[in-house]
Structure 1
C-alpha cells in the first residue's frame, strides 16, 4: 500500500526506492517480526538503550509494510533505512514501537 499513513492506527510512511510505503504494525506483522527478532519487549528495551541493530530495524519495517510491492526486496528496505539516516527514520521506528507498547487509538 502506498500513500497516506493514519497515525491514529499506528501507521507511518517509509520511503523506499522513491515509493511511499505504509508501515502498519498489525498483529500478524508483529508476530512475524517477533518470530524472527525475538521478544518485542526486548527489542523495545534495546531501542530505548540505543542498542537496536540496523538489521533489526530493517526486519521490523519489512514485516510491517502493509502491502509490499511484489518487486520490493528486503535489501531495498535496509538500503532505504541507511539512505534516510537515523534522524529521518526514527519517527517511523517510534510509531511502530509505540504500537508495540500501547497500541493504536483507533
Structure 2
C-alpha cells in the first residue's frame, strides 16, 4: 500500500526504498510557485519536455507530507535522481494533473 490517497490528489513516490506521499495542497503549491514561478508555466514547460530536474524535485519537496527524519532536500534530490525519471514520472504526472484540474 502506498499510503497515497488518490481522492485527495496524492501521489506515491518511491525514493531510497521508502514510499513517500506527495499532496498538492494549497500551501504546498503556493510554496512551490513562490520558488518556481507560475504553476501554469511549469505545466507548460513539462508538456514541452523542458521541465528541469531541479524543478521537479522542488515541486516534489514542497508537496511531501511526511519527510523522513534527517532527510535534507539535497539528499531527497539525490534519491529521486538515483531512482530515475521513469520512476518519478507517474508522481509528476499526478501532481501536474492536480495543478490543472484542482480538487
TM-score (ref. length: structure 2):
0.92
Q: Residues 16 and 83 of structure 2 are in contact (CA less than 8 Å); yes or no, is this contact kept in structure 1?
A: no
* CA distance in structure 2 between the aligned counterparts of 1:33 and 1:43, rounded to whole angstroms: 10
Give 2:63's aligned residue: 64
Larger mean Cα displacement after TM superposition, 9-18 or 90-99? 9-18
Q: How many residues align?
A: 102
Shift of 1:82: 1.2
The C-alpha deviation readout for 1:28-57, integer Å capped at 9, x for no partner, is 000000000000000000000000000000
Q: What TM-score do you get using the length of structure 1 for normalisation?
A: 0.89
What is the CA–CA distance in structure 1 between the aligned matches of 2:71 and 2:6, rounded to whole Å? 24
In 1, Cα distance between equivalents of 2:15 and 2:87: 13
Tell me, which stretches of 5 or more residues in structure 1 are unaligned? none
Note the aligned Cα RMSD (angstroms): 1.2
SS in 2 for 1:22: strand
Which residue in 1 is equivalent to 2:24? 25
Instruction: Say if 2:82 is the partner of 1:83.
Output: yes
Aligned to 2:52: 53
